[in-house]
Amino acid sequence: MRRHSAWIVLLLIWSLAPMLWQLLTSFTTSAALVDGSIPFLQRWTLNHYRELLSSNPPFWRYLANSSMLAAMSTVLTTLLAIPAAYALTKIPKQWRQPVRFVVIAAALFPYVLLFLALLELARQFHLGNSLLALALPYSALQMPLALLLLTAAIEGLPVDLDDAARLEGLSLRQRLRWVMLPLIAPATASTAILVFLFAWNEYPIALTWLSRSDLLTLPVAMARIAGSSIYSVPYGAYAAATVLGAIPLLVLVLLFQRQIVRGLTNGAIKG
């Protein structure tokens, strides 16, 4: 038992050390970071956070932009993926494996290779500088993964359940809303978290689609943080931006941790 506890403690230290280091760095003065000493408790400051929040536009604007973009992408992907996954479970059996193979191939395809095509679409249809327009490719890129996860969840439900609901006179929308959704809620939550994280962290597409400073997402805004010269690296500002950017994700995971754990556990047991 003690041996297992020791391994758990080491694993926690290994996992939490980078986050704790970033947190301490964000409160450390620039002088202490430059001279290499680490007297965090003696030379701490809030200037890094003040500079971020007093910038023009303020840093919270980037957090709001990323939150709105990730939320729109998640809602759009989920609303489209649930009925599509249900439809995939109803196609003839001889077509299920070929269709699943295509979906898996699309999920594994590196989206960076589509970068130039997406950029040309943005230019042709004037989709630049719009968070709503940016949510469209984000949703499309994550749709294959969402289909795989939700299709597996729906296939794990009893077949007679859907037949019984149909005999009761429920429409397709009613069956999805009142029968399917409550049962696949853990898988839906896990899928939504993955889509949200992709939209939150995505950088190349957001870098080219957004040029207005008030519409920048968090990764693009963090990449533009610079020091007073090319030889000056604002470690404290980077650390403070990392801490502020992690807060919404931590809140999201804490709110939906039960659904996430249930979804992962169910998937592990079925596998």
Does the pLDDT of residue 1 top 70, yes or no?
no
| Rounded CA separation 109/101 (Å) | 12
pTM of the model: 0.85
Higher pLDDT, 43 or 42: 43
| Mean of all residue pLDDT scores within the chain | 83
Residue whose entry in the numeric block shows the structure tokens 């190349």: 204
| Rounded CA separation 150/192 (Å) | 10
Domain ranges for the chain: 59-218+246-270
| Rounded CA separation 54/237 (Å) | 12
Confidence of residue 196 (pLDDT cuts 50, 70, 90): very high
The matching CATH number, chosen from 1.10.1740.10, 1.10.3720.10, 3.40.50.300, 3.30.360.10, for 59-218+246-270 is 1.10.3720.10
